[in-house]
Amino acid sequence: MKYLGSRTVGVASIILLLASTGKVVLAQISPMNPISIQVNADDHKTSSNSTKHVRIETRTEKLEITLQNTTQQNYSDLTLRYCIFAKDVNKPKKDGQPQPIDTVLRHATPIVIPKLATLTITSEVASITDTPNQDVPANQKSTRRGERERLVKASGKEYAGYGVEVLQSNLIIGQFFSSLDLTDQFTAAFSHARKKP
């Protein structure tokens, strides 16, 4: 499934296109910022069985980020930052508390965008694995008790979304999140990165 989104910082108009279906979803766009962002989130799912007949599902996620300089100014001092997030399938959201979010991919890179130019960058691939709730053939001990199947409870991570940001020094001049709930997690991901030796 592919998602195409656009946003720059600020509030002016609203558009987010789900490319696979043509469905339009809400997102903020502001023409007042110099860098516009489009994100094509490309994901693939595969399933495999372990030696104990347990089905394991793996989702790979890759971002294709297109940046457009809408001004007559050359930008040679920018930083592109992006993250992909996941959440634990066994930790549902509690009343009054946000669901824990993990950062499975975090990257920052310097970029240059000439005036009126477009730059496309493809992210690394993030891999997210989970084991869904399922009944599997019983083991030898359970078979002796007359049980033919046993329940395997869900475990692992599931995809939670992504964030993209363009900085000039410490000023945000372009930004896009698949969900606004991820803005704090995005900031925290790079804050933690700066604290590491």
* Residue 182, SS3 per DSSP: helix
- What is the C-alpha separation between 154 and 55, in angstroms, rounded? 10
Phi/psi of residue 133, nearest 5 degrees: -55, 135
Note whether 80 and 154 are within 8 A (CB): no
H or E element: which one contains 120? Answer: strand 118-122
Pairing of strands 55-69, 118-122: antiparallel
DSSP summary character for residue 180 = G
Phi/psi of residue 195, nearest 5 degrees: -80, -20
Q: Tell me, which fold does domain 2-131+160-195 have in CATH?
A: Immunoglobulin-like (2.60.40)
Average pLDDT of the segment spanning 14-42: 56
CA 39, chain centre distance (Å): 10
pLDDT digits (tens, 9 = 90+) for 131-151: 766 677 766 555 455 566 677
By C-alpha distance, which of 26, 7, 4 is closest to 166? Answer: 7
Burial 35-62, CB ≥16 within 10 A → b, else e: bbbbbbbbbeeeeeeeeeeeeeeebebb
pLDDT digits (tens, 9 = 90+) for 60-115: 999 999 999 989 999 988 999 999 999 887 766 666 566 678 999 999 999 999 99
What predicted TM-score, i.e. pTM, was given to this entire model?
0.73
CA 73, chain centre distance (Å): 30
pLDDT at 48: 73
